[in-house]
Structure 1
Amino acid sequence: MEVIVIGSGVIGLTSAWYLAKEGHSVTVIDRQDSSGKETSFANAGQISYGYSSPWAAPGIPLKAMKWLTQEHAPLKVKPSLSPELVAWATKMLANCNEAKYAVNKSRMLRVANYSRDCLTHLRSIENLAYEGRQKGTLQVFRSEKQLDAIQQDMKLLTESGIEHSLFGVEQCLSVEPGLADVKDKLVGGLYLPDDETGDCHQFCLALTEKAKALGVQFVFDTEVVNLNHHNQTIESITTTQGDFKADAYVVASGSYSRDLLKQVNLSIPVYPVKGYSLTLPIVSSDKSPTSTVMDETYKVAMTRFDDRIRIAGTAELAGFNYLIPEQRKATIDMVIKDLFPHAGDFSKAEYWTGLRPMTPDGTPIIGKTPIKN
């Protein structure tokens, strides 16, 4: 069967690789000049099976109101009456209760476990270099209130078979000794030993080469502008480089999937939630993270690559916007300087922003649609 995959981020690429391994003829189309140039480019670098959790959680509506007035808040909202934002936010707020949070987190953990098995299988076949580490995630808490609040998550982790431990400060230092100088700022942490890290962009580039070896064709610098359909079937797609036809189509274009699928009368509740990252060369290995440290207060992740640190966070509801305000830089600067003040070289700082394709309940949209192919 001939299959077209729209999007060459980590989801599109892994889909293409698995399809090719099953014997299908696959073509990947992307508007960028190479793989992994959008959401997959400079994200937090977390492969966080255990940390999978919906943002729609109990208490979030009240916290969001408080965050609106805080300088370094984890959530920022650009005032807008966009119908897409209003509809998405309304659905998200409807999921901010204990019952729906438990259901959604359990769903996410099941998908995460499946994802882990798929990645393990892929790595058993392909040797991929992406600065990967398998040293866990440490979610650090600055208050007793945060420690108390994590109990419900721990119950769900236990039910889902996710290994985890609640650590005191000294135990936190045993897995992340770089925090020793700031231990007085912490009260404890949740350790998820099976979580992993890695450079997502490097993973994409490496997997692209493996996919090419399986016969996957890549068409870059090409934007899909129309899905030509009739009788619930896509007959072809129109791109900036002409029309393409296949027997089946996979849409993996992140936040842009929403508007693309509107053309075939499919409505998906996806909104582009903007995030920011900072990448620093390491100047002191001993004063740097060992793996990923997640600051629960500011919702900022600090991830160790080989000789770099990736700091990423902030959820901004601002539509399709790629500007990087100085205030957003200041927030991620503040967190890394607060917890790992001697780790990175700020004279060589690299800032980036990307769009997370977020659903109101946090669960991904996977599977067959009413469109036949």
Structure 2
Amino acid sequence: MKVVVLGAGIVGVTSAYQLAKAGHEVTVVDRQQGPALETSFANAGEVSFGYCSPWAAPGIPMKALKWLFMHHAPLILRPKVDAAMLSWLVKMLSNCTSERYAINKSRMLRLADYSRISLAAVREETGIAYDERMQGTLQLFRTQQQLDASAKDVKALAADGVPYEVLDRDGCIRVEPALRHVRDKLVGGLLTPKDETGDCFKFTNALAAKAVELGVRFQYGTTIKGLDIQGGQARGVVTEGGRLDADAVVVALGSYSPLLLKPLGIKLPVYPVKGYSLTIPITDASRAPESTVMDETYKIAITRLGDRIRVGGMAEISGYTNDLGLPRRRTLEHSVTDLFPGGDVAKASFWSGLRPMTPDGTPVIGPTNIKGLFLNTGHGTLGWTMSSGSARVISDLVSGRKPDIDATDLAISRYA
């Protein structure tokens, strides 16, 4: 079949690669001049198969109120007259129950574990390198209250058979030796040893090159104007450069997916939640993390990427804005220098990206009510983590095959 994939971020490129492997004629369209130049460009670097939880959780509404008044807040809300923002917030709050949290986390862990297997297969068959490490994620707790609250995550990990280890202060330092310099600031941690790290931008570009070898065509610098729907079926994509014929279309446009789908009457509850990152050169390896440390207090990930440290996090709900606020940079700098003092943050590059979030945390993967139109979007902070598994699922669905995992509750129909 002729398949057009819209979007050349990590989700779009992995989808194109798997579709080409399945024997389809694939074209990828993106407005940027190359792969992974938006949300996939400088994310936190985590591939978090175990540290994988929906933001909508019990207690979050009260925490959110507290965060709004913190100096280094993990959550920033800039209210505006925006029906989509209000609708998304209401839906997200409705998922902040113990029952919904358990359902949503189970879905996410199922897809994440499948993605772990799928990424390993891609790595083996392509041999691509991307500053990858396989040393796990350490969720770091500064207070006993944080450590006690992790019990619900431990319960979910155990129920889904995901390896984990609850650590005391000495255990955290054993996993991340550089933390010995700040041991008095630690209470304990939760280690998910199957987690990985890696540069998403490097991976996406390397995989795009492999996709080209399989016959995938990339049309960069191309604005998508709309979809050609005839008789209830997707027939093509209309771009500024003309029309592309298609037997199937996969929408992988991240936060911009709802804008493309709205004229078709498809209400996709995906909203941009902006995140920020710093990329800092390592000047003293003995004071740098070995893998990923998730600072639970500020919800910031500090990740080793080769000779660099990537510091990423925060959630700013402010619509489709991509400005770089100086207070956000100060929060990132505070977290990394507090746990790993000695780094030269003055030499850091500062970046922001729009994460496509669903109100329940689970991405939207699967068919729509329009024949031949498929979605692979809404991965939030876990696009890098879930991309390989999501790509396998969407390739199977487009090809008319049953995916290796249950994907029925990943489709947009779950919101009906």
* Residue 124 of structure 1 pairs with residue 124 of structure 2: yes
Give 1:348 deviation, angstroms.
1.7
Q: For residue 106 of structure 2, what is the aligned residue in structure 1?
A: 106
Whole-Å separation in 1 of the counterparts to 2:54 and 2:221:
34
Give 1:201 deviation, angstroms.
0.3
Q: For residue 368 of structure 2, what is the aligned residue in structure 1?
A: 369
Tell me if structure 2 keeps the 8 A contact 1:227–1:263. Answer: no
Whole-Å separation in 2 of the counterparts to 1:263 and 1:345:
48
SS at match of 1:206: helix
SS at match of 2:364: coil
Which residue type is aligned with residue 6 of structure 2? I
Which residue type is aligned with residue 197 of structure 2? T
Whole-Å separation in 2 of the counterparts to 1:67 and 1:155:
26
Q: For residue 207 of structure 2, what is the aligned residue in structure 1?
A: 207
TM-score in terms of structure 2 length: 0.88
TM-score in terms of structure 1 length: 0.98
Deviates more, 1:64-73 or 1:160-169: 64-73
Whole-Å separation in 2 of the counterparts to 1:76 and 1:231:
44
Whole-Å separation in 1 of the counterparts to 2:189 and 2:312:
19
Give 1:243 deviation, angstroms.
1.3
Written as runs of structure 1 = structure 2, the 5 A alignment for 1:102-251 is 102-251=102-251
SS at match of 2:319: coil
Tell me if structure 2 keeps the 8 A contact 1:49–1:112. Answer: yes
Whole-Å separation in 1 of the counterparts to 2:346 and 2:360:
39
Deviates more, 1:116-125 or 1:163-172: 116-125
Whole-Å separation in 1 of the counterparts to 2:240 and 2:135:
43
Whole-Å separation in 1 of the counterparts to 2:83 and 2:290:
43
Whole-Å separation in 2 of the counterparts to 1:274 and 1:285:
30
Which residue type is aligned with residue 31 of structure 1? R
Whole-Å separation in 2 of the counterparts to 1:347 and 1:154:
38
Give 1:120 deviation, angstroms.
1.4
SS at match of 1:367: strand
Q: For residue 315 of structure 1, what is the aligned residue in structure 2?
A: 315
SS at match of 1:161: coil
Which residue type is aligned with residue 359 of structure 1? T
Tell me if structure 2 keeps the 8 A contact 1:52–1:112. Answer: yes
SS at match of 2:366: coil
Tell me if structure 1 keeps the 8 A contact 2:235–2:248. Answer: no
Deviates more, 1:288-297 or 1:72-81: 72-81
- Same amino acid, percent of matched pairs: 52
Q: For residue 290 of structure 1, what is the aligned residue in structure 2?
A: 290
Unaligned runs of at least 5 residues, structure 2 = 373-416
Whole-Å separation in 1 of the counterparts to 2:74 and 2:346:
25
Q: For residue 46 of structure 1, what is the aligned residue in structure 2?
A: 46
Unaligned runs of at least 5 residues, structure 1 = none
Give 1:24 deviation, angstroms.
0.7
SS at match of 1:266: coil
Give 1:354 deviation, angstroms.
0.1
Once the two structures are superposed, what CA deviation does each residue of 1:181-230 show, in whole Å capped at 9, x if it has no partner?
11100100000100000000000110011000001000000011111212
Tell me if structure 1 keeps the 8 A contact 2:236–2:247. Answer: no
Once the two structures are superposed, what CA deviation does each residue of 1:17-68 show, in whole Å capped at 9, x if it has no partner?
1111111110010000000011100000110000110000111111111111
Whole-Å separation in 2 of the counterparts to 1:340 and 1:95:
35
Q: For residue 358 of structure 2, what is the aligned residue in structure 1?
A: 359
Which residue type is aligned with residue 347 of structure 2? K
Give 1:280 deviation, angstroms.
0.3
Written as runs of structure 1 = structure 2, the 5 A alignment for 1:61-100 is 61-100=61-100
Tell me if structure 2 keeps the 8 A contact 1:165–1:191. Answer: yes
Q: For residue 381 of structure 2, what is the aligned residue in structure 1?
A: none
Tell me if structure 2 keeps the 8 A contact 1:255–1:358. Answer: yes
Tell me if structure 1 keeps the 8 A contact 2:53–2:108. Answer: yes
Q: For residue 277 of structure 1, what is the aligned residue in structure 2?
A: 277
SS at match of 1:269: coil
Whole-Å separation in 2 of the counterparts to 1:364 and 1:217:
26
Once the two structures are superposed, what CA deviation does each residue of 1:168-188 show, in whole Å capped at 9, x if it has no partner?
010100110011111100100
Written as runs of structure 1 = structure 2, the 5 A alignment for 1:315-334 is 315-334=315-334
Whole-Å separation in 1 of the counterparts to 2:303 and 2:221:
31
SS at match of 2:145: helix
Give 1:236 deviation, angstroms.
2.1
Which residue type is aligned with residue 185 of structure 1? K
State the Cα RMSD in Å. Answer: 0.8
Whole-Å separation in 1 of the counterparts to 2:155 and 2:60:
20
Q: For residue 19 of structure 2, what is the aligned residue in structure 1?
A: 19
Tell me if structure 2 keeps the 8 A contact 1:293–1:301. Answer: yes
Tell me if structure 2 keeps the 8 A contact 1:278–1:349. Answer: yes
Tell me if structure 2 keeps the 8 A contact 1:89–1:360. Answer: yes
SS at match of 1:14: helix
Whole-Å separation in 2 of the counterparts to 1:309 and 1:240:
39
